[in-house]
């Protein structure tokens, strides 16, 4: 039995959020602990690019795990190709009442109703500046719960302005189901107003900018978001956030339950993105194996992110994926992962 299996057995008998808090405190103070959990760092062969940024490997940490940018160094050392922190709001907020995280081991899924709990932009920025990591860093930004719709564009613009100097990419999050009214921003008029405000700041410091969308979007909204991504020169779309298409209670569900829902929406996004030059697609939601990566690349996607599968499988998932990718490089006689990804894209 490996170290993570022992940890998981103990952790899964305890409140999920309490375990997460203890773990993040450990990872923050002792990033070198990653060496005990991972012995297979990414090789240079696994570096890849979507045309806007380069990751050390194709699998990054999804937003929501390191909300306050406390353990960037740990997650970089453990083998993630990139680390996305947040969601960060301008002012610190506690989020929704506890309990607000539930595990479902039988379907390897997690339900959360967090509501963007975080220390606020100033403290998160301080944590980023303390990091020594040179991994690709993303910052996921969102509005405060009490912010009015009319003030929302300005909040996103201020957050972009604050984090663009220290981040490799920025993600606009308007797809969490746990902040009232947030998903209503996934409409043409509402998102256009956000893009107009943010683009004023991009003129000063232009960093790759992505939009994270819901897996529950209607087809017409998917195409609207892709059209707006083209109009406002976004770098890409991250598909998807958690789903509310379940009967488990309040909040969004992630993990294996989300796999088919997210897969189907990603397929539509990738198809629409083909009509937009240089618009990349980052996949998240139900991804837990090399087979999922290959399927995503065949759809036309680029990078992938994980969260729930990392909790259920531990750091071993990164080691396993990296080893399988090295085998694929030899099998298809490709020099690097970028060439392999392009090969799979041609099969679509």
> What tens digit of pLDDT does each residue of 131-146 get?
998 899 999 999 999 9
Residue 172 pLDDT: 98
pLDDT the model gives residue 36: 79
Enumerate residues 6+ apart whose C-beta is below 8 A from 129.
Answer: 166
Amino acid 235: pLDDT = 98
Higher pLDDT, residue 95 or 335: 95
CA atoms of 59 and 283, how far apart (whole Å): 9
**pLDDT for the residue 148:** 94
Please check the confidence at residue 61 and state whether its pLDDT lies above 80: yes
Residue span of the structural domain in which 210 resides: 3-346
Q: What is the pLDDT of residue 264?
A: 97
Q: Given this model, what pLDDT does residue 348 score? A: 75
| Predicted local confidence at residue 182, as pLDDT | 92
Confidence of residue 39 (pLDDT cuts 50, 70, 90): low
Model's pTM, two decimal places?
0.97
- pLDDT computed for residue 41 by the predictor: 58
pLDDT tens digits for range 227-236: 999 999 999 9
Across the chain, mean pLDDT equals: 95
The number of distinct structural domains making up the chain is 1
Is the pLDDT at 43 greater than 80? The verdict is: no
Residue 42 has pLDDT above 70, yes or no: no
| 240 preceded by a cis bond (ω within 30 of 0) | yes
Report pLDDT for 4.
87
49 is catalytic: no
**What CATH number does the domain containing 288 carry?**
3.20.20.70
Q: What are the pLDDT digits (tens) for 201-222?
A: 999 999 999 999 999 999 999 9
Strands (E), the chain: 48-49, 54-55, 59-61, 82-88, 101-104, 109-112, 136-141, 169-173, 209-213, 236-239, 252-255, 280-284, 304-306
Name the active-site residue from 176, 262, 267, 280: 176
């Amino acid at each position: 039995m490996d170290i993570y299996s022992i940890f998981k057995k103990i952790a899964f008998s305890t409140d999920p959020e309490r375990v997460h808090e203890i773990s993040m405190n450990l990872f923050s103070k002792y990033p070198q602990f990653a060496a005990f959990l991972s012995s297979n760092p990414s090789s240079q062969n696994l570096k890849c690019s979507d045309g806007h940024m380069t990751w050390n490997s194709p699998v990054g940490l999804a937003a929501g795990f390191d909300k306050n940018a406390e353990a960037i160094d740990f997650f970089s050392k453990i083998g993630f190709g990139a680390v996305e922190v947040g969601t960060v709001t301008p002012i610190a907020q506690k989020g929704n009442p506890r309990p607000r995280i539930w595990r479902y081991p039988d379907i390897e899924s997690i339900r959360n109703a967090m509501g963007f709990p975080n220390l606020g932009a100033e403290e998160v920025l301080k944590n980023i500046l303390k990091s020594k990591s040179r991994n690709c860093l993303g910052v996921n930004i969102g509005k405060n719960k009490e912010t009015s719709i009319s003030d929302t564009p300005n909040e996103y613009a201020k957050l972009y302005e604050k984090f663009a100097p220290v981040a490799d990419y920025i993600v606009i999050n308007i797809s969490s189901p746990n902040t009232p009214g947030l998903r209503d921003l996934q409409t043409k008029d509402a998102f256009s107003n956000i893009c107009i405000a943010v683009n004023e700041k991009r003129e000063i410091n232009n960093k790759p900018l992505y939009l994270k969308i819901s897996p529950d979007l209607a087809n017409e909204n998917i195409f609207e978001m892709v059209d707006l991504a083209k109009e406002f020169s976004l770098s890409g779309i991250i598909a998807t956030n958690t789903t509310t298409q379940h009967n488990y209670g309040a909040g969004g569900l992630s993990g294996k339950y989300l796999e088919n829902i997210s897969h189907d929406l990603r397929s539509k996004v990738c198809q629409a993105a083909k009509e937009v030059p240089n618009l990349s697609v980052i996949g998240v939601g139900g991804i837990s194996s090399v087979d999922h990566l290959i399927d995503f690349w065949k759809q036309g996607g680029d990078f992938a992110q994980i969260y729930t599968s990392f909790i259920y499988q531990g750091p071993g998932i990164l080691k396993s994926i990296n080893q399988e990718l090295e085998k694929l490089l030899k099998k298809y006689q490709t020099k690097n992962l970028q060439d392999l990804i392009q090969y799979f894209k041609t099969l679509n």
